[in-house]
A and B are shown apart, each in its own frame.
Chain A
Amino acid sequence: MNYLFWAHVIFWAALFIYVYNLTRKNENLRREIDALKSSLSNTKEEKIIWQKQEIK
Chain B
Amino acid sequence: MKLLMCLTFVGMIASLYAAFIYAPTEAVMGPIQRIFYFHMGTVWVATLAFIIVFISSIQYLRKESRFWDILALSSAEVGVLFITLTIITGSIWAKPVWGTWWTWDPQLTTTFILWILYIVYLILRSSAGSDTKKARYAAVFGIIAFLDLPLVYASARLMRGISPVVFGDRGGGIAPEMMVALLVTLVAFTFLFFLILRERIDIENMKDEIAKLKIEEAL
**A26-B199, A33-B209 given as contacts; is B32 within 8 A of A10 (CB)?**
no
Contacts of B93 in A (CB 8 A): 3, 7
Q: How far is the CB of B41 from chain A (nearest CB, A)?
A: 9
Number of interface residues of B (CB under 8 A): 29
Interface of B is mostly: helix
By beta carbon, the residue of chain A nearest B212 is: A36
Contacts of B95 in A (CB 8 A): 3
By beta carbon, the residue of chain A nearest B35 is: A7
Contacting A at CB under 8 A, from B122-162, are none
Q: How large is the interface on A (under 10, 10 to 19, 20 to 34, 35 or more residues)?
A: 20 to 34
Bound: A36/B146 CA distance, A: 39
Q: Is the CB of A22 within 8 A of B203?
A: yes
For A6, give its contact among B38, B84, B92 (CB under 8 Å). Answer: B92
> Could you list which residues of chain A lie within 8 angstroms of chain B, going by C-beta atoms?
1, 3-4, 6-8, 10-11, 14-15, 18-19, 22-23, 25-26, 29-30, 32-33, 36-37, 39-40, 43
